[in-house]
Structure 1
Amino acid sequence: MSVDTALHRLNTALAQLEEVAEHRAELDRTIAGHRIEVQALSEDRSRLAMELDASYARFSTLETANRDVSRRLDQAMDSIRHVLEPQDR
């Protein structure tokens, strides 16, 4: 093999190596971008889960208050009916 052929093969191999290294660097950047997106989505999920838990707690509180108000309104209506009923004298 001549020196020129060896140099040509070496240059070809180096060019391929550079191309592969460049492709690998691009993949690494893409993977890093995906990791950042996954982290952001995970943080959003955690925040939304906490907000949902708080909403359920608030709903439970409002539901309890609603039942209490309904019970009190029923009692008040019964009292008003009792007052308005004709009295046997």
Structure 2
Amino acid sequence: MPTENSFDIALGALRQAISGLENAIDMRIEAQRDNSEVASEVKRVHADRARLAQELDQSEFRANRLEEVNREVSRRLVTAMETIRAVLDR
């Protein structure tokens, strides 16, 4: 009977080792799945960042252009007002 008892102990240890290995494999698969999800999310974030940076550049360009046009309109209004004053003063 001691042989059966040590056999049962060895069989139990083997089952426990196999179970531990299966758990480790499951954890590894889950970690790889999580890593691929993270990598996909990072790619999406980079794509969004690039798109937003481009939109910001375009918005800044439009704002600068509007500022230039505003200065030109203001300059023309001042010139027109001065011309009108000169005509009225005659």
Question: Shared fold by TM > 0.5?
Answer: yes
TM-score for the superposition, normalised by structure 1: 0.89
TM-score for the superposition, normalised by structure 2: 0.88
Amino acid at match of 1:48: L
- Identify the structure with the greater helix proportion: 2
In the alignment, structure 1 residue 20 sits paired with structure 2 residue 24:
yes
Q: For residues 22-58 of structure 1, what are the alpha-carbon distances to aligned partners after superposition, in whole Å with 9 as ceiling and x for unaligned?
A: 0111111111111111111111110000011111111
Question: How many Å apart are 1:20 and its aligned residue?
Answer: 0.7
Which consecutive unaligned segments of at least 5 residues does structure 2 have?
none
- Tell me the equivalent position of 1:33: 37
Q: CA RMSD in A?
A: 1.2
- Percent same amino acid among aligned pairs? 44
- Tell me the equivalent position of 2:84: 80
**Residue 49 of structure 2: which of 45, 50, 74 is its match?**
45
Amino acid at match of 1:54: Q
